[in-house]
Amino acid sequence: MAQNKMLSFVHLKQAYPEKRSAQERDTDFNEIYRSFSDEQASCQASRCSQCGVPYCSAYCPLHNNIPDWLKMTAEGRLQDAYALSSATSTMPEICGRICPQDRLCEGNCVIENSGHGAVTIGSVEKYITDTAWKEGWVEPLQPITELGISVGIIGSGPAGLTAAEKLRQQGYQVHVYDRHDRAGGLLTYGIPGFKLEKDIVARRVKRLADGGVTFHTNFHVGKDASLEELRERHAAILIATGVYKARGLATPGKELNGIVDALDFLISSNRKSFGDKVEAFDNGTLDAKGKKVVVIGGGDTAMDCVRTAIRQGAESVRCLYRRDRVNMPGSAREVKNAEDEGAEFVWLSAPESFVGKDHVQSVKVRGMRLGAPDGSGRRSPEPDPARLFDMDADLVICALGFSPEDLPTLFNAPELSVTPWGTVEADPVTLQTSIEGVFAAGDIVRGASLVVWAIRDGLVASEQMHQWLATRQQDKQDAPTKAKKKAVFA
C-alpha cells in the first residue's frame, strides 16, 4: 500500500512537471484531458484511508458511496466500482468533471483535513464511468414495463434529464420539451467545453432517446404551448427550466456596443465548438480574439468567461470583483486555474462608468473596501473615495448572476406560486407546486446552483411524481368499488 502511495506521487509529478511546453501547458489546463491510467487511478483510490467517518459521502449531495467505490478501484474491480457509483448518480462522469469538489466531497476528505491533500475523488469517479462507456458496461435504458401513462418535462438540463431517465425506467411515456435546438441545458450551452466535452453530454442524451424518451427541441413553452395545454397532454408535468434572466448593471454607459452578457458569450462559444454558424461571433461581437477583455463578477460563470476569452486569443483578460479573494463566491480552484492561464484579478474594484463613443473603449474603475458585515455575515463592499482609475477595454462581459424568468406570466399560469425571488414555490418534500400534478426541480426552485443538486432534485422529483401518479391510478381503479360500497350503505 505504502509503495502504491509513493507511486501515485511519482506519476502525478510526471503528469504535471514544473516546466511545460506551451502545448503541454494548454493540455494541462484543459482539466478534462487529465486522465488516469488504470495504475494511477488505483494508486489515487488507494490513498483513501477507509477512515470510517465518510464525510466525503455526507457532503456529496447524492451521498455517493465514495469509500466503497474507491476501495473497489484500488482493488482493480472497476466494473463493480462503476455499478456502485452509477447506483446513486445518473451522470457520474459529468459530476466527476465539473462538481466543485473542493467545496463538497474532496473538501471534506479526512486526508485533506490532515494536511496531506484530498483523494482526488472527482477524477476517480470520472475515470470509472469513462472506462464503463469504453468497455460497454453502460447498459441501454430499458423500462421495466410499459405503463401507457404520459409525463411532460419542461427543460432538458441535468434536473430534467435525470427525471426523464428515472421515469422512463418506471415505464412512463416521457416527453421532454426544450427551447434550445440541442438538449442538455447548461451542460450543453453554459459550461465551456474545456471543462465538459460536449460529446460526453450528447451520449447521455442519446442513451435516453434510444430508450424511448421523446425530445421536443426548439419548443418554447409559453410560446409554442401554454402550461395548461401541456397538462392536457400529460398526466403530470415537471418544470425544470433553470434560471436565465441575466442580472444587469445600472452603470452609466452600459448601453455601449462591446458590453455583453456572460451567457450570450458562452453560448456563442459553445455553438462554435459544434461548428454552428453564429453571426454575432463571426462578425466579431462575441469573439474575444485580440481584444482587451474585462469580465465583471466573481462567481464561477465569471471564471468560465475569463478562461474562454483566454482560449479565444484575447490580448489581455482582467476580472473585476468588488470583494477580495477570500470573499469571492467562485471556486478557489477555478481562480487559481484562471490566474495560471494568465488572467489578472483586480480585487476590490467595480465599474463606475463605461467610456466610449459607440463602442466601449475603457472602464472607469472605482476601488472598493470592505465595510461592516451584512445580514449574512459577509462584509459589504463600499466605494473607496481615494481610488478611481481607467482600464482599457474593447469587450466587457457582465457575469453578475442569473434570476428566474417570470414563469406565471410566460406560462400563462397565474396560479403557479413563486417566491419573492421569482423561483417556483415547491413543497420541500414532494416538489409539487401550487398546481396539482405539476412538480418543479433544479435551479428554477433553488435559484442558480450546481449540476449535482439538479441531479438530486431530478431523482427526488421522479420518485415523487411516480408515487403521485401511482396513487392517482389506484384511486381511479378503486372508484367503482367505492361508489358501489357507498350505494350499498346509503
Ligand X SMILES: Cc1cc2nc3c(=O)[nH]c(=O)nc-3n(C[C@H](O)[C@H](O)[C@H](O)COP(=O)(O)OP(=O)(O)OC[C@H]3O[C@@H](n4cnc5c(N)ncnc54)[C@H](O)[C@@H]3O)c2cc1C
The binding site for ligand SF4 (CB under 6 A) comprises 60, 62, 64, 66, 89, 95-96, 99, 101, 104-105, 121-122, 125, 452
> Least Å distance between CB 464 and ligand X?
16
Sequence-ordered strand ranges (E) for 330-463: 344-346, 349-356, 360-373, 379-392, 395-398, 402-403, 438-440
Query: What are the backbone dihedrals phi and psi of residue 316, each rounded to the nearest 5 degrees, phi first?
Result: -150, 155
Give the residue ranges of DSSP H helices in 16-62: 22-29, 38-46, 55-59
Among 164, 451, 459, 465, binds ligand X (CB under 6 A): 451
Binding partner at 435 among ligand SF4, ligand X, none, C-beta below 5 to 8 Å by kind? none
* x-marked contacts with ligand X along 73-112 as a string, rule CB under 6 A: -------------------------xx-------------
For ligand X, the closer of residues 48 and 187 by Cβ is: 187
Q: Which stretch binds ligand X (CB under 6 A): 1-9, 111-119, 298-306, 365-373?
A: 298-306
Specify the residue for cell string 486569443: 313
Which span sits near ligand X by CB under 6 A: 103-111, 115-123, 183-191, 377-385? 183-191
Q: Please say which residue, 58 or 483, places its beta carbon nearer to ligand SF4.
A: 58
| 57 φ, ψ (degrees, to nearest 5) | -65, -40
Owner of C-alpha cell 476528505: 109
Q: Which residues contact 384 (CB under 8 A, 6 or more apart)?
A: 348, 366, 367, 368, 369
> Taking CB within 5 to 8 Å according to partner kind, which of ligand SF4, ligand X, none is near residue 105?
ligand SF4
β-sheet bridge partners, residue 418 = 424
Q: Check if the beta carbon of residue 307 is closer than 8 Å to that of residue 338.
A: yes
Q: How far is the CB of 87 from ligand SF4 (least distance, A)?
A: 13
Closest by CA position to 393, among listed 284, 319, 299, 342: 319
157 contributes a contact to ligand X by CB under 6 A: yes
The binder of 193, among ligand SF4, ligand X, none, by C-beta within 5 to 8 A per type, is none
Q: Which does 125 bind (CB under 5 to 8 A by kind): ligand X, ligand SF4, none?
A: ligand SF4
The partner in contact with residue 122, picked from ligand SF4, ligand X, none with C-beta cut-offs of 5 to 8 angstroms by kind, is ligand SF4
Q: In this structure, what C-alpha cell is assigned to residue 346? A: 483586480
Interhelix angle 300-311/332-340, rounded to 10 degrees, is: 20
* Residues 236-295, interacting with ligand X (CB under 6 A): 240-242, 266
Q: Is 191 in the site for ligand X (CB under 6 A)?
A: yes
> C-beta of 365: minimal distance to ligand SF4 in Å?
36
Task: Provide φ and ψ at 261, rounded to 5°.
Answer: -85, 145
Contact yes or no for 166/463 (Cβ under 8 A)? yes
- Binding positions for ligand X, rule: CB under 6 A: 98-99, 154-160, 177-180, 185-186, 190-191, 195, 220-222, 240-242, 266, 300-301, 304, 442-443, 449-452, 454
